[in-house]
Amino acid sequence: MQKTKIAIAGGLGRMGQKTLVEILEDDGAVLSGVLVRKGSFALGTPVLFPDTQVGTGQNYSDDREGVFRDSDVVIDFTTADASVENAKAAAKTETPLVIGATGFSDAQLKEINASAKAAPILLSYNMSFAITALGHALQGLSGDLGDAFHVEITDIHHKDKKDAPSGTALMLGEAIGRPQGAIKYTSHRKGHEIGEHRILFSGPGEEIEVIHRARDRRLFARGAVLAAHWLKGKKPGLYTLKDIL
């Protein structure tokens, strides 16, 4: 079976490094490139196995279109601005793109949607399949409980996370499907928390609380690589993890 050629955009970040390990340990995948921003200190240097520091055969690159053309799929764990540019490169080269970034404006989402007319793009604010399944479950729970139950969503992340509420919190809120402003969002940024989401349904005399905790960032990398394998060969369009489940 032919291996899937997967590249990483944002290869020096937390998630980029986790994804690098996941690709290198996947018997069905081969690393086809690692993108960094222009002017990066790592530009042109060898990409090494994070644990052993042995070379992977790739160098860090800022040649966006070149890396896209050399790949079956690109996984993007960058920033909202960079993801928009990567989506444009995906459209130009007709290369499938998995986006795991968050913090997009409405205008940026429109640009990604436009790029998805020329290339398959999978966008998810959380690459956990459990979170995707949780969103589906919350949709049903919200419908069963009705407006008598108030909804609060609390997200806890590491101190350096910029967007609040988190993209995952907003994604879960969208799944719950309450009117604009009906859900209370609370965000905490502290320490090195990977990610915790608490969803509270408060009704007359009773409550239901659902909690999801991420204990290892590699689960997001694993989800992104699985999504990359799935996206390879798909028709242009905008996809989410729900399309895989």
Q: How confident is the model at residue 1 (pLDDT cuts 50, 70, 90)?
A: confident
Q: Where are the beta strands (DSSP E) in 108-177?
A: 120-123, 150-157
The answer to whether 196 and 156 are in contact (CB under 8 A) is yes
Confidence (pLDDT) at 171:
94
Sheet of 237-239, strand order: 46-48, 55-61, 29-35, 4-9, 73-76, 97-99, 120-123, 237-239
Confidence (pLDDT) at 74:
99
Question: What is the SS3 assignment for 8?
Answer: strand
Task: Report domain extents, the chain.
Answer: 4-127+218-243, 129-213
Measured from the Cβ of residue 172, the count of other Cβ atoms closer than 10 Å reads 27
* Residues labelled as active-site residues: 157, 161
Question: What is the SS3 assignment for 175?
Answer: helix
Question: What is the SS3 assignment for 34?
Answer: strand
Q: Which amino acid is at 53?
A: Q
What is the pTM (predicted TM-score) of this model?
Answer: 0.89
Q: What percent of the chain has pLDDT over 70?
A: 100
Residue 55 pLDDT exceeds 90: no
Pick the CATH number of 4-127+218-243 from 3.40.50.300, 1.10.10.60, 3.40.50.720, 3.40.190.120: 3.40.50.720
Q: Render pLDDT for 106-158 as a digit per residue (tens, 0 to 9).
A: 999 999 999 999 999 999 999 999 999 999 999 999 999 999 999 999 999 99
Domain 129-213 classified CATH 3.40.50.10800?
no
